[in-house]
Structure 1
Amino acid sequence: MESNYILPVEKEETKRLAKAWFFLGVVSLLLSGFFSILLVVSRTPAIQSLIPFIDFFHTALVVHVDLSVLIWFTSFASILWTLIARNVNKLDWLAFYLSVSGTFLIVLTPFIMDGHPLMNNYIPILQTPLFYFALSLYTVGLLIRIVRTLFSSMPFNASSPTTALTSGVWLGALAALLAILFFLYTLFKVPDDLPAVAWFEVLFWGGGHILQFTHMLLVFVVWIVLLQQIKTRLIFTPAILFVCLLISFIPVLYSGVIYWQYDVASSEFHNQFTQLMRFGSLTTLPLGLIIFINLFKTLPAEGPLLPLKLALWCSAALFASGGVLGFMIEGVNVVIPAHYHGSIVGITLAFMGFSFYLLPVFDYPLKDRTLKLAKIQPIVYAVGQFMHISGLAWSGGYGVKRKTAGAAQGLDSLPEIAGMALMGMGGLIAIIGGILFVVIVYLAVKQKKG
């Protein structure tokens, strides 16, 4: 008998809360797009000299990363965590409102005080009390959502397709909880005499790596749901899926060993997590291979199913590209952002495709011009991002440094200029793709209200 892998939305209150997290994620993506316009223009040859506020680059980069990675990803994770919970209560809504408040303050901070940005990895920082408060507020809301998920989720049954999927969402929540707990542990272990950027780098280094496994577990769940929705005859059993998800979770457990054995400020600690990310991600290969095989078993799709299929294929291609680029990193150059943009955008496209599935579930069906836009949006976004990461990877091969803008990039040769120009063109196309996604959501909601 063929298995049916779905995450059912059975209760109206569950749907309302999941929808609320969905709109928080979409708004954060919209706002990150605004800041990304400043980023792309400030690094594009011939245009960058026209920007009168080039010093705003790093502040914009901080807010862009926090919105497009931390808040967009965890808001979407919160949709999935809400869907697998048995019930919704006031604590769940408190978690949401705290996170909304934190997001609002993060966006507001750069416009009311000097941000003093720090470009540390994973969660870059603006050194202001308001930003610290905003980030803490968001984290508390997220923590409540995670704990509620872990203790109120559906019971596991490895022979059930739905609960096999649920196990992936639950393991993603557990990984996120461990990441937050390790953030708190590190907070009391970081030496006080470190420079500010090094202090925050150490603070977020271990937990930031762990959080990536949350994203990977959840994107696998989303890919499987999308495969199911486009009528793919899946070739694995719920038990196989359950085992593969457990194997993918193993690196999260090993992270505890790293914390146990090494001082958080040591080079060994830093290197161990680098290697964990590089080689620990290989534990996802069994499930990744299964999904890859199933991709080639997909049937022709049309109508509302076509955007799901396009997003699925584009997502998998970008995610794989990011993984390959990760093994090509040598030195501190723009190959690094090429790697993580590939992986991050692969996940973002999966979540966008899942959004096209969720909108009808939330009573916002895709039809008429909204459906037409949804059929081209994944292609526009993916093409732009492929150009973006190709330009970065090419320029990185010539030694162009990361996290720089304007003349600081040192673009002295034609290949360097060409690579960064390709990056800029691709980035602008990707921004258009991101705007299209927000427009699709807006039109779907407007059509329903109309």
Structure 2
Amino acid sequence: MLGVSALAGAGLFSLLLVLSRTPVIGDWFPWANFFRTALVVHVNLSVLIWFLGFSALLWSLDAPSGSRLVRASQGLAFAGTLTIVIAPFLGAGEPLLNNYVPMLQHPLFYAGLLLFGAGIALQALQRLLQPARGVFRALAPSLKLSALVVLGSLLVLALNGYQLNSGSSQAYFELLFWAPGHLLQFSHTLLMLLAWLLLVAGLQPGALKHPRWLTPLAALTLAPVLFAIPLLLLYTVDSMESRQGFTDLMRFGGLASLPLALYILFQLRRDTHPLASLRYTALACSLTLFAAGGVLGFLIDGVNVVIPAHYHGSIVGVTLAFMGLSYALLPLLGFLVPSPVWARRQLLIYASGQLMHITGLAWSGGYGVQRKTAGAAQGLDQLPEIAGMALMGTGGLISIIGGVLYLLLMIRSMGRSAAPEGNGPAARPQRAR
């Protein structure tokens, strides 16, 4: 519910963001400051809250529903999200477009982030303390590694805050979130891969071929995180060496995920389950976008829209994996699965739109179009630049349609309980916690 709600809010803001950057249409929106405020809220809802909210879902799949720690985590996360959403309407302004966690300079917005972060930290702690059990116990060691990385990222955030002089400038928040933001991406990548694994295995991780390899390969995926230790010990948070070190860590450290990705593809098999086509569609779409984002990461040269093309591809790759897995998890949580035909259409619409979106951005970036600008400020005065950004806008609008369709399918399904008949998980529905 938290993830779906966050995506719903992000979708409303993304529509205005895409329109404000689309040639001709963007000139009708003289909202430079609104663009920046909307971008801050959109990024935090669609990346920070959606990703970490879904992470908490995976960590809590086998958690007892009556756990006080789980209830406290949920309460804090929901309260923090609500505070972040309403902050712009209660006076929070002066947007700062620093990387990873863009900010609105207002105590209410800060409080929302602290509440949400505390909720996620409690759920990660619960995952570390919870013994492995149930059908997902084969994933427990890998999920614990993910939770450990998230807690480590929060610790690095606290250490950065201690080192830095208190401030509220964009440079301050850029330094504050740079290292922990990079580290979080390793957890997101691992959970995306585990989502692929569940999609391939039909939510039956016990049926994997050579299951003993799963935990070592998950550990290998996160092994580059250990290089953060010398970076933190040898360099100050505001040094160029630290900044470049964490940049290289993410750029090259992502290659450590390839063995686990190949292991997952090795699990592919002929599957006649009615939802198999849906699961494999989600896998193919996620893999395509994530790979495209990874390739674009090596093509970045300067500060232009190739940068958002890179991270949009990677982010959307994770999002598509989580979307596909959310459909498959609905019966386990006591809900009806939406129409597999419409769910596949949703995934394909969203993926194709985002592929057009990042292609347009990458093309325009080759002509030097700058990031974090809108309307006339983009300086689109050549036909290739205009064509590239028009493709970006068209793809963005198509992906918004796919995103809205996802929300409609999920909300409709979560409003109906599965009938306890037949065999399989849906026959013994558990109410969603």
TM-score between the two structures when normalised by the length of structure 2: 0.92
Match of 1:112 in 2: 90
Match runs of 1:43-192 below 5 Å = 43-85=21-63, 88-154=66-132, 162-192=136-166
Provide Cα deviations, 1:172-230, integer angstroms capped at 9, x if missing partner: 000000000000010011145x7711110000000001100110111111110100118
Match of 2:302 in 1: 331
Q: What amino acid does structure 1 have at the position aligned with 2:292?
A: S
Runs of 4+ aligned residues of structure 1 deviating over 4 Å after TM superposition are 230-236
SS at match of 1:399: coil
Q: Is the 8 A contact 1:118 1:127 kept in 2?
A: yes
Q: What amino acid does structure 2 have at the position aligned with 1:219?
A: M
Match of 1:308 in 2: 279
Shift of the 93–311 alpha-carbon distance from structure 1 to 2, 3 Å rule, reads: same
Separation of aligned partners in 1, 2:94 and 2:237:
25
Q: What amino acid does structure 2 have at the position aligned with 1:246?
A: A
Provide Cα deviations, 1:41-83, integer angstroms capped at 9, x if missing partner: 0000010111253420010000000000000001100011112
Q: Is the 8 A contact 1:230 1:301 kept in 2?
A: no
Aligned-residue offset at 1:39: 0.6
Provide Cα deviations, 1:247-297, integer angstroms capped at 9, x if missing partner: 112111221221011110000000000010011111111112223444xx4
Match of 2:428 in 1: none
Aligned-residue offset at 1:303: 3.5
Match of 2:170 in 1: 197
Shift of the 378–281 alpha-carbon distance from structure 1 to 2, 3 Å rule, reads: same
Shift of the 251–161 alpha-carbon distance from structure 1 to 2, 3 Å rule, reads: farther
Match runs of 1:16-415 below 5 Å = 23-85=1-63, 88-154=66-132, 162-192=136-166, 196-229=169-202, 236-294=209-267, 297-299=268-270, 303-366=274-337, 370-415=339-384
Separation of aligned partners in 2, 1:217 and 1:167:
12
Q: Is the 8 A contact 1:172 1:217 kept in 2?
A: yes
SS at match of 1:448: coil
Higher mean alpha-carbon deviation, 103-112 vs 86-95, is at 86-95
Separation of aligned partners in 2, 1:118 and 1:310:
37
Q: What amino acid does structure 2 have at the position aligned with 1:82?
A: S
Separation of aligned partners in 2, 1:232 and 1:248:
18
Q: What amino acid does structure 1 have at the position aligned with 2:289?
A: L
Separation of aligned partners in 2, 1:83 and 1:232:
13
Match of 2:430 in 1: none
Q: What amino acid does structure 2 have at the position aligned with 1:187?
A: G
Provide Cα deviations, 1:72-106, integer angstroms capped at 9, x if missing partner: 00110001111244674112101111110110110
Separation of aligned partners in 2, 1:307 and 1:439:
17
Shift of the 386–165 alpha-carbon distance from structure 1 to 2, 3 Å rule, reads: same
Match of 1:8 in 2: none
Separation of aligned partners in 2, 1:318 and 1:449:
32
SS at match of 2:415: helix
Provide Cα deviations, 1:161-180, integer angstroms capped at 9, x if missing partner: 95442211111000000000
Aligned-residue offset at 1:446: 3.4
Separation of aligned partners in 1, 2:221 and 2:381:
43
How many residue pairs get matched? Answer: 419
Q: Is the 8 A contact 2:135 2:204 kept in 1?
A: no
Match of 2:424 in 1: none
Aligned-residue offset at 1:373: 1.6
**What is the root-mean-square deviation in Å for CA atoms of aligned residues?**
2.2
Q: What amino acid does structure 2 have at the position aligned with 1:264?
A: V
Q: What amino acid does structure 2 have at the position aligned with 1:282?
A: L
Match runs of 1:5-20 below 5 Å = none
Q: Is the 8 A contact 1:87 1:152 kept in 2?
A: no
Q: Is the 8 A contact 2:92 2:109 kept in 1?
A: no
1:448 maps to 2:417:
yes
Q: What amino acid does structure 2 have at the position aligned with 1:424?
A: G
Separation of aligned partners in 2, 1:188 and 1:110:
28
Task: Specify every segment of 5 or more residues in structure 1 that has no aligned partner in the other structure, as ranges.
Answer: 1-22
Separation of aligned partners in 1, 2:66 and 2:229:
31
Task: Specify every segment of 5 or more residues in structure 2 that has no aligned partner in the other structure, as ranges.
Answer: 420-433
Higher mean alpha-carbon deviation, 304-313 vs 63-72, is at 304-313
Separation of aligned partners in 2, 1:230 and 1:82:
15
Q: What amino acid does structure 2 have at the position aligned with 1:220?
A: L
Match of 1:18 in 2: none
Separation of aligned partners in 2, 1:423 and 1:234:
42
Aligned-residue offset at 1:148: 1.5
SS at match of 2:35: helix
Shift of the 302–426 alpha-carbon distance from structure 1 to 2, 3 Å rule, reads: farther
